[in-house]
Amino acid sequence: MNDNLTQGLSKLCNIALTDEEAEKMQIELEKIINFMKKLAELDTDDLNEMSHPFEGVFPLREDKTEPSYSREEMLKNAKNTENGCYRVPKAIKEK
């Protein structure tokens, strides 16, 4: 594990840490990650991953519309709105 672990993660998560916090976080993360490494002891080659605790067939939704929520209701929890839209600082970098 390298020193930039916390830095890299902080970038991916959009969370900034002060130097002091980062140093502490690095130590804690290393400790926890080492603890997690225990799983490597187990042979799991022939196993399927279990991403749901339940297995079975589940009903899907019919393609029917229902009235949407009112725009006011949807926008009321937003801090910045303009002309019925959510508003953010200009997004330059595109995805």
Partner 1 sequence: MSDSYEIVMGIEVHAELSTESKIFCSCATKFGKEPNTQICPICTGMPGTLPLLNKKVVEFAVKTGLALNCSITKENKFDRKNYFYPDLPKAYQISQLYLPICRNGYIEINSKGKKKKIGIHEIHMEEDAGKLIHDENATLIDYNRCGVPLLEIVSEPHFSNGDEVVAYLTALREILIYTGVSDCKMQEGSMRADINLSVRKRGEKELSTRTEMKNMSSFKEIKRAVEYEAERQISIKQRGERVLQQTIRWDEEKGIGIVMRSKENADDYRYFPEPDIMPVVISDGEIKRIKNLLPELPQQKRQRYISEFGLNDYDASIITSEKELCDLFERTTALCDRPKEVCNMIMGELMRILSSLGKTAENLNVAPEKLASLINIISEGKINRNIGKDVFEQIYFYNVDPWEYVKENNLLILDDPELTEKTVNEIISENQKSVSDYLSGKQKAKGYLIGLVMKRLKGRADPKSVNEAVDKKLKQLQP
Partner 2 sequence: MKITENSALSLGKMLQSREISVIELLTEYLKETEAKKDLNAFITICRDESLKRANIIQKNIDDKVLSSPLAGVPMAVKDNICTKNILTSCASKMLSDFKPPYSATAVERLEKAGAVLIGKTNMDEFAMGGSTESSYYGSVKNPKDTKKVSGGSSGGTAAAVASNQCAYGLGSDTGGSVRQPASFCGITGLMPTYGSVSRYGLIAYASSLDRIGVMGKNMSDCAAVLSEIYGSDKKDMTCSVAKKTDFTSFCDLGIRGMKIGIPRNFFSEQTDAFVGKSVLQGARELEKSGAELYEFELPLTDYYLPTYYITACAEASSNLSRYDGIKYGFCQSGDELEQMYVKTRTEGFGLEVKRRIMLGTYVLSSGYYEDYYKKALKVRRLIKDSFDDAFKKYDLLLTPTAPTTAYNIGENRNDPLKMYQGDIYTVAASLSGIPAASIPCGKNQEGMPIGMQLMAPQLREDVIVRVGCAYEKITGGSVDE
Min CB(52)–partner 1 separation in Å: 6
- The item of partner 1, partner 2, none sharing an interface with residue 19, based on CB under 5 to 8 Å by kind, is none
Specify the DSSP element, H or E, that contains 82.
strand 81-82
Question: Binding of partner 2 at residue 85 (CB under 8 A)?
Answer: no
Say how many C-beta atoms besides its own lie within 10 A of residue 6's C-beta: 21
* CB 8 to partner 2: min, Å: 8
Binding mask 16-55 for partner 2 (x = CB under 8 A): xx---x---x--xx-xxx-xxxxxx-x-x--xxxxxxxx-
Q: Least distance to partner 2 from the beta carbon of 88, Å?
A: 6
Report which DSSP code applies to 41.
G
> To which H or E segment does residue 31 belong?
helix 19-36
What angle in degrees, to the nearest 10, is found between the helix axes of 19-36 and 5-13?
100
